[in-house]
Structure 1
């Protein structure tokens, strides 16, 4: 089968969200063909290039979301009237909407009608939508909607700078509507679209469904709407309200039109249900991780230092290392031999500053000891990064201690926790994100921002080696069962077949006499081999749809 893989700021670029997951998915499903449609997030990302693509990738098409391109198309009077009608309707819905979950069916229909109307305009006119979205008429339409009777109070308070900010954001978010991907031999030729996130990445899938009836599968390992809410806290109230309405309505439209939605964990699933996703469409598919690098450590019963606590991850404020250091101060009172190793690199300038703060706090809490089990100048807290001679690999980091600690206050799917489970380590974690779902009773979980509870759980495991061993073995067994690449690709293979089997045939296949052949395109029609007995010829539309483009170089794909 032919899959249109829709990405934003990730695969096939070397850097970006979900690049590794998408690469493993494509390589693990060699029986299918993939066409990749990628929205680039920055010039630097494009300059870095692509990952090495496997042979099952038939074509790659990219488009920059980071730059507004002028295609030179100028709308005439009729096209301008159509744009004003659809954009005005879109703005009216945003100004009238409350929370996404409280929005009416009528508002949802109005939003979808306006969205697809803009896409149809761009398709009919051969472009020009970007210029129209950046025009003064767009800002005026937004202003009229904000001043109209029945608009929200926060929308009525919007000033010119607020309107300009909202219009610019909408123009960027709606850039996928202007792409030339929506043709019979392009997105119209795939058997299904798989969007790897919500938001702009799902827009091409929505349009492929609208124009050609292509079914849409949506995967969200991080709910895009939640990400927007967390990132928009500093915006003025009017801007926050209007953009929240737009992203909420876009999420609801995507959930409504998708055939199946696959959250990565129960935490994401609850968000999706709250934002309008039908529970019957939801299938939890946990992220797949490569367990092989951790096999040697996981199968070994040796431990470099059973009295050492290990924290592994990116150093940033959400990881709450401050609480971990205060908890370790309590642990040292109960178990003076215990050491703490913080292993990881800072995440950007904010992470650098936070790492400096944590180093200073460690020096303050644990001044050099003149007597006791350690020598003078030997601080029980150490900071390190992976890649040096002492810790050459990630597995070596987890092998450095007997208990792995996660102290975060914000977490989605806790990758470091799964890595520790692959290594057979007992864990102590804070109850955030999908932690409880991942642990499943194979580790200790405590409230976040509670150093005392964190200390008590760590002390309990440090004093009970047999319990540590039991929990570590159970954690490894659970991780191998639920969180491997193999289970992830197997789940998506089954979902692909289920979606295609439930989708009406969109292509008419005829025999040599021109008579239609029913059931001539089964789900396994693209699997190598002869699956139909009689020779068939296809209609011109089907032949066009089967045309293949050779994989271009990164330069040629832009």
Structure 2
């Protein structure tokens, strides 16, 4: 099977999102072939390069979603420019319109999107990408946006948009729609795939939508973090103009972009053959955004259980009076509440310690947050002379994985008896699953998919509630038998639901299901463009290199390059008569 793997800011880049998950998926499905189509988010990401790719990755095509792009105008005359004005006007009208439950706006948005893609292909694909890029940033596009914002029925936020807002929106739309201009959809590219697998919604799924539009290739969409939710949460900070350090977008521009991403998400969910959320939290978001419940298949992400097996199988449960926090240091993790909660814990358990093991997230805001946490810890817990602890006198320590005390992640979880998660915003809590695989009892805040992951094997408290967090930690610190029971139950649950093996098995089954129900019908033609009957015999679809004889052949559909059976390679005999079939030739021999 030939899979077109679609990513945005992820695999195969070294610092890409969901890189490990995609790499494990590709390596675990060695019986299939993968073509990776990657959209990068920054120059830095591209400069750091790719991970080492396994042999089943046949090719990698990449394109940037950053930078200004190459400008220009459509080069096919007035008709194409008029077609762009009409299509983009329809798309802008759907984006700037109010709520609609009839589905007419969804049809309007989808039709306009594919019309723009057809115009881009007609004007030369990526070879003429400057045409569409320039048109999306042109005065004509800005006027179309302005007209849609002033149209009757437009929301108040759209009517408030001014020229700077419209220019900013036009620039953001051009970046988001840049996949429309790529030359990825030919018969030897995504058009030859049996299945497109988008590893995120949004821009990553756009090439899959176009492959479905152009060649009828079925689309599978996986979201472990819902892209639309990420756009909503980002707000003004994440909506900054790319490059140059301009201030964040105004409220009208943010409202228009939120509407665009909502329309795009609805179109992706509508046209996808199967949607695989990573948890019930993501599933609820997708259903609210229009995903058909019949298309949804929950597939949990998988972690390598063997990495944490040694810690999980130990009889000891680490330092019984030590709380462990593991993660990226950023405001969403709410370490402030954790430190205040630990102050309450120390009143009940004076010998308790807290080890914060994490990596600093990118950006000055995260660095300032870490400094604030260190200052708060120094204020709440002045240095104490406590010779029982080798790491330091203060009961709170800030450490990094890879240091002398914490050489790796398993060592971090092995160092304590209770693992704490204090987040106020959380998607799928990977650190929680790692703690479960290590057989650790956990105390977590009720955010994101935490309750779904824990499933009764740990304590859950409300977020932003230091007192409740402290009470739960004290309860486990004082009850070693309960810690052991919860840790064992957590490890058993993680091994059943959250391993790499279950993830790969689930996706392989979904691949086969999709291809069996939605096979791509490719018409074989000769040099004159006329159909060739019986060009794809049934035996050509048998997977694997099953033929022992015959020359290599790529087949009429451009697939694999596996050895062709000798009867398929038999040339016509003299007089234009076909050669004998394999069975008859073997019988005669």
Decide which structure has the larger Cα Rg and report it. 2
Q: TM-score, normalised by structure 2?
A: 0.87
Please tell me whether the aligned partners of residues 129 and 178 of structure 1 are also in contact (alpha carbons under 8 angstroms): yes
Q: 1:255 to 1:521 in 2, by over 3 A?
A: farther
CA distance in 2, matches of 1:307, 1:172: 51
For residue 133 of structure 1, the aligned residue among 130, 133, 136 is 136
Answer whether contact 2:553 2:561 (CA < 8 A) is retained: no
Q: If the length of structure 1 is used for normalisation, what is the TM-score? A: 0.92
Q: 2:41 maps to which residue?
A: 41
SS at match of 1:84: helix
Residue 337, structure 1, aligned to residue 335, structure 2: no
In the other structure, the counterpart of 2:271 is 257
Partner of 2:103: 105
Gaps of 5+ in 1: 549-558
Structure 1 residue corresponding to 2:197, chosen from 191, 194, 198: 194
**Could you tell me which residue of structure 2 aligns to residue 167 of structure 1?**
170
| Partner-residue secondary structure (3-state), 1:307 | strand
CA contact (8 A) 1:185 1:547 kept: no
In 2: Cα distance, 1:140 partner to 1:500 partner? 44
- The 1:546–1:390 alpha-carbon spacing in structure 2 relative to 1, beyond 3 Å, is closer
Question: Counterparts of 1:519 and 1:505 in 2: how far apart (Å)?
Answer: 15
In structure 1, the residue matched to 2:19 is: 19
Uncovered stretches (5+) of structure 2, i.e. residues with no partner: 238-248, 526-530, 563-589
> Could you list the per-position Cα deviations for residues 341-381 of structure 1 after superposition, in whole angstroms to 9, with x for gaps in the alignment?
11112213222211111111111112234689889x82111
Q: 1:480 to 1:38 in 2, by over 3 A?
A: same
1:362 — aligned with what? 377
Counterpart pick for 1:156 among 154, 159, 162: 159
1:520 deviation in Å? Answer: 1.9
In 2: Cα distance, 1:59 partner to 1:372 partner: 58
Task: Determine which structure has greater relative contact order: mean sequence separation of CA pairs < 8 Å that are 6+ residues apart, divided by chain length.
Answer: 1
Secondary structure at the aligned position of 1:313 is classed as strand
Distance 1:518 1:80, change over 3 A: closer
Determine if the alignment matches structure 1 residue 207 to structure 2 residue 224.
no
Deviation at 1:508, TM superposition (A): 4.5
Aligned to 2:422: 407
Aligned length: 539
- Asked whether the equivalents of residues 509 and 536 of structure 1 are also in contact (C-alpha less than 8 Å), the reply is no
- Partner of 1:353 in structure 2? 368
1:292 deviates by 1.6
Change (3 A) 1:496 1:519: farther
Hey, what does 2:534 align to over in structure 1?
516
Q: Is the 8 A contact 1:316 1:346 kept in 2?
A: yes
Change (3 A) 1:509 1:534: farther
Per-residue CA deviations over 1:166-205 (Å, capped at 9, x if unaligned) read 1111111000000011111111000000000011110000
2:283 aligns with 269
- Deviations along 1:390-426, whole A, 9 cap, x unmatched? 2111100101110000011110000110010010000
Instruction: For 1:13 and 1:131, locate their aligned partners in 2 and report how far apart those are by CA, in whole Å.
Output: 28
1:74 maps to 74
- After the TM superposition, which residues 58-457 of structure 1 pair with which residues of structure 2 at under 5 Å, given as runs? 58-70=58-70, 74-75=74-75, 76-98=77-99, 102-126=100-124, 127=128, 128-233=131-236, 235-348=249-362, 349-369=364-384, 378-457=393-472
CA distance in 2, matches of 1:270, 1:490: 24
Instruction: Decide whether aligned partners of structure 1 residues 136 and 73 sit closer, same or farther in structure 2, where only a CA change above 3 A counts.
Output: closer
Question: Is the CA contact (8 Å cut-off) linking 2:329 and 2:361 kept in structure 1?
Answer: yes
Structure 2: how far apart are the matches of 1:407 and 1:442? 17
Q: Cα offset for 1:216?
A: 0.1
Contact 1:133 1:171 in 2 (8 A): yes
Does the 8 A contact of 1:342 with 1:384 survive in 2?
yes
1:509–1:538 CA contact under 8 A, matched in 2: no
CA 1:89 to 1:456, structure 2 compared with 1: closer, same or farther past 3 Å? same
Shift of 1:320: 0.8
In 2 relative to 1, CA 521–46 (structure 1 residues): closer, same or farther, beyond 3 Å? Answer: farther
Distance 1:359 1:415 in 2: 25
Identify if the C-alpha distance between structure 1 residues 505 and 379 changes in structure 2 by more than 3 Å, giving closer, same or farther.
Answer: closer
CA 41–370 in structure 1, closer or farther in 2 if over 3 Å, else same: closer
Q: CA deviation at 1:525?
A: 3.3
How far, CA to CA, are the matches of 2:524 and 2:476 in structure 1?
A: 65
Matches of 2:60 and 2:552, distance apart in 1: 29
- Give the SS at the match of 1:232: helix
Q: Structure 1, residues 476-526: CA drift from partner, whole Å, max 9, x if none?
A: 11111111111111000000000000014412579xx9643788278x634
Paired residue secondary structure (1:345)? strand
Q: Indicate the residue corresponding to 2:571 in structure 1.
A: none
| Distance in 2 between residues matched to 1:505 and 1:365, nearest whole Å | 64
Residue in structure 2 matched with residue 5 of structure 1 by the alignment: 5
**How far off its partner does 1:305 sit?**
1.2
Q: Deviations over 1:97-136 (max 9, x none)?
A: 33xxx54311110000100000000001113211111111
Are the aligned partners of 1:508 and 1:539 in contact in 2 as well (CA < 8 Å)?
Answer: no
SS in 2 for 1:402: strand
Change (3 A) 1:374 1:210: closer
